[in-house]
Amino acid sequence: MSHASSIWNYRMFILSSIRTELANRFVRSRLGGLWMIINPLAQVLMYALILSAILSAKLPGIDHRFAYAIYLTAGILAWTMFSEVVTRCLNIFIDNAELLKKLVFPRICLPAIVSGSALLNGLLLFLAVIVVFTALGHFPSIHVLWLPALFLLNLALALGLGLTLGVLNVFVRDVGQIAQLALQYGFWFTPIVYMPAIIPESLRFLLMFNPMYWIVSGYQNVLVFSVHPPLMGLAAVGVLALLLILGALFLFRKAAPEMVDVL
């Protein structure tokens, strides 16, 4: 409750920081905020051009000329938010070391700024995805109303994991390097560029232990297959996200007094 109170009391500082961060990211750029959309969509285009000829025949349930590109775009939308939050939280205290030393403010504001920025980026990318889907003749159904819940669950999981790793990374810098490698492997262990059906049945059960499998499947279900997301799997992910956030806040509270000295 003290963290929630601090975020509310410093809400103007958080909002101002998000606005300043976005302005600085695209200063002197003619395309400005469009780069937040161009980069992930360019990644989707690259995978689609290279892999669609190989995997397009293995997408059951999608009767569309651009089936693979649509499927891939939905997965990238989910993974982009998750990886952005985790990656930024890894170095959130290290990158803001001077700020922590010179200003007195609740440290919890830093992950709040990351969360707000990620939600804004995710919303802009989602709007771009809807435009792309419409241009391709694929119109999401009423199940798209599940997306706000999926966004928040995705953010909660990424924030709980990222903040835990971010605190540990202050004291053991190897954590950041290991986490970056784990994210790369995690991307390919999650069915984003392929369908789960292509994995040998004897190994397919391993996907059930990957939290992002359920979240990515949720995005794909509502945006691609027009069905409701896997509720039981997402409920388990929700419990995991809650435990990670509570553990991260506990660790953060214990480590906060020593952080500035270490930094």
**What are the pLDDT digits (tens) for 39-88?**
666 766 666 666 655 555 456 666 666 777 788 888 988 998 999 899 98
With CA atoms as reference, report the closest residue to 223 among 130, 135, 125.
130
Q: Which helix (H) or strand (E) holds 135?
A: helix 109-135
Residue 175: other Cβ atoms inside 10 A: 17
137 torsion bin: left (phi>0), alpha (psi -120 to 50), beta (else):
left
pLDDT tens-place values along the chain, 263 residues long: 666 777 777 778 788 887 887 777 666 666 555 666 676 667 666 666 666 555 554 566 666 667 777 888 889 889 989 998 999 899 888 887 777 777 766 777 888 888 888 888 888 888 878 877 787 777 778 888 999 999 999 999 999 999 999 989 988 888 888 999 999 999 999 998 888 888 888 888 899 999 999 999 999 999 988 899 999 999 999 999 999 999 988 888 888 777 777 76
pLDDT at 73: 84
Residue among 226, 190, 195 nearest 56 (CA): 195
Among candidate residues 100, 103, 43, 95, the one with its CA nearest the CA of residue 69: 43
Listed residue (155, 159, 144, 139) closest to 78, CA to CA = 155
Q: What share of the chain is helix, strand, coil (3-state, %, to 5)?
A: 80, 0, 20
How far apart (Å, rounded) are the C-alpha atoms in residues 40 and 4?
32
Q: What is the pLDDT of residue 151?
A: 93
**pTM given for the model:** 0.85
Distances in whole angstroms, Cα of residue 249 to Cα of each of 154, 166, 179, 243, 244: 18, 11, 19, 10, 9
From residue 234, how far is each of 71, 146, 248 by CA, in Å? 19, 12, 20
